[in-house]
Amino acid sequence: MVFASNKIFRSTVSLALVAVMGVTLLAAVNKLTEARIAEQEKKAILAQLGQLVAPDLYDNELQLDLFSFQNERYFPRGQTVVAYRARRDGMAVAVVLKMAAVNGYNGKINLLVGIKENGTLCGVRVISHKETPGLGDDIEVKRNDWILGFAGRFLGNPKPERWAVRRDGGEFDQFTGATITPRAVVEAVRLTLEFFEEQKLFLFESPSDSQSEDNS
């Protein structure tokens, strides 16, 4: 074959072979690890949810009974909120909202806000953030107990005008050298509680996103 001596042809074939090898390797490893990865992600979400709603309070599969929605008024900047519903014998027990505080010092702060059926907070946890290390990152439960102070609170404890950091006339401590971060989290939790008060039925009665495992 005349082509066999053509340099460009041979280079093309060799590069194509390398590409095929690479793709095959990737496909194989992907297949091999698929199941295990899905399991790990499920475990991670459950672990986070479990920090907020004690497993013995509900009997449904939290990570399956979820639905997503948007609400610009309470959850601005076009964010998609995910609501995980905890039920016992079909009755609503609690809901955990995966949402974001938008006024962080360095962008959005992703939060899990757990609210019991009666409007009391189970607790709040930070999923991810880009706040300043050593200053704003005291919102993390690993670094500081501050975030634990939300548990048990509701829209009355404290009164609406006291749902702010101390500097703003409210009841929540801010951090030395970092006011914006805790302010953003307090604001987000307050907004979430207000949304819950207004839309409790919507949160518990909306049908789950069918078959979808939340992977975001």
Partner 1 sequence: MQTDYRQIFADGLWHQNTGLVVLLGLCPLLAITNTATNGLGLGLATILTLVFSNLTVSLARGLLRPEIRIPAYVLIIASVVTVVQLLMQAWLYDLYRVLGIFIPLIVTNCAIIGRAEAFASRNTPLPSIADGFATGLGFCLALVTLGALREIIGQGTLFSQAGLMFGEPGALLELTIIPDHPGFLLALLPPGAFISLGVLIAGRNWLNSRNVVRQELARSGLAE
Sort 16 into a burial class: Cβ within 10 Å, 0-12 / 13-18 / 19+.
Answer: exposed
Taking the complex as a whole, how short is the minimal distance between the CB of residue 29 and partner 1, in angstroms?
5
**CB nearer to partner 1: pick between 1 and 201:** 1
Residue 167 is a binding residue for partner 1 (CB under 8 A): no
Among 1, 2, 5, 15, binds partner 1 (CB under 8 A): 15
For residue 79, give the nearest of 162, 202, 3, 192 by alpha carbon: 192
The two structure tokens encoding residue 200: 């409790």
Taking the complex as a whole, how short is the minimal distance between the CB of residue 15 and partner 1, in angstroms?
4
Residue 57 is a binding residue for partner 1 (CB under 8 A): no
Q: How far apart (Å, rounded) are the C-alpha atoms in residues 84 and 176?
A: 34
Residue 18 is a binding residue for partner 1 (CB under 8 A): yes
Strands ordered across the beta sheet of 66-69: 66-69, 81-88, 91-104, 107-116, 121-128
**CB nearer to partner 1: pick between 47 and 91:** 47
Among 6, 19, 119, 198, binds partner 1 (CB under 8 A): 19
Residue 33 is a binding residue for partner 1 (CB under 8 A): yes
Residue 21 is a binding residue for partner 1 (CB under 8 A): yes
Residue 44 is a binding residue for partner 1 (CB under 8 A): yes
Residue 144 is a binding residue for partner 1 (CB under 8 A): no
| Cα→Cα distances 16→6, 9, 10, 191, Å | 16, 10, 10, 55
Sequence-distant (6+) residues with CB within 8 A of 157 are none
**CB nearer to partner 1: pick between 41 and 209:** 41
Task: List, in sequence order, every beta strand (DSSP E) within the chain.
Answer: 66-69, 81-88, 91-104, 107-116, 121-128
Span from 72-80, 89-97, 112-120, 127-135 in contact with partner 1 (CB under 8 A):
127-135
SS3 category, 195 = helix
Taking the complex as a whole, how short is the minimal distance between the CB of residue 53 and partner 1, in angstroms?
22
One-letter amino acid at 85 equals R
Which spans of this chain sit near partner 1 (rule: CB under 8 A)? 7, 10-11, 14-15, 17-19, 21-23, 25-26, 29-30, 33, 36-37, 40-41, 43-44, 133-135
